[in-house]
Amino acid sequence: MAQDYTHEQRVMISNMIMSLLRRWGIPQDRQVEVLGLPADTRARGLNKYHNDTPLPDDPEVMARVKYLAHIADALRTSYPHNPEAGFHWMTRPHRRFDGCTPAQVIAERGRTGIIEVLADLDCAYAWEISSPCETKAARA
């Protein structure tokens, strides 16, 4: 993914993702897991991704960035007249998540939680990941 973007674009994407995680209330110490960064990454080391350093060009990190951006886009299209409503949705308990907030699901379950929240927001994505293998093979 990163090879398709300039350094400046990667920095901008990193800033956006880090801002989303902060606005969603995901604690810094959990952001390391959410982003798929190495386990020895210190929470205070994340500050550089708010400035002029792009997130690592690692396939796992980039996949999670793509999912998180997809969540942000799904929230934007779900609440086109009130961007704050998307942030509200991420921080309110939902019965679909057993009373947890979507942000908690992401923070506690990492990649699995990201996918759960994305599937809840985007029914087309949910359909794609739940369709039979034969259907997926036919589309390829």
pTM of the model: 0.85
Q: Domain map of the chain by residue range?
A: 2-139
d(CA 32, CA 56): 12
> What pLDDT does 39 receive?
87
Closest CA to 106 of 76, 78, 67, 56: 67
Q: Residue 102: phi, psi to the nearest 5?
A: -55, -35
Q: Residue 21 — very low, low, confident or very high, per pLDDT cuts 50/70/90? A: very high
Q: What is the pLDDT of residues 32-87, one digit of tens each?
A: 999 999 989 998 899 999 988 999 999 999 999 999 999 999 999 999 999 899 99
> What pLDDT does 4 receive?
84
Residue 25: CB partners within 8 Å, gap ≥ 6? 90, 91, 101, 103
Query: Is the alpha carbon torsion for 43, 37, 10, 83 positive or negative?
Result: negative
Q: Residue 2 — very low, low, confident or very high, per pLDDT cuts 50/70/90? A: low
Q: Does the pLDDT value for residue 137 go beyond 90?
A: no
Query: Which residue reads 């500050």 in tokens?
Result: 47
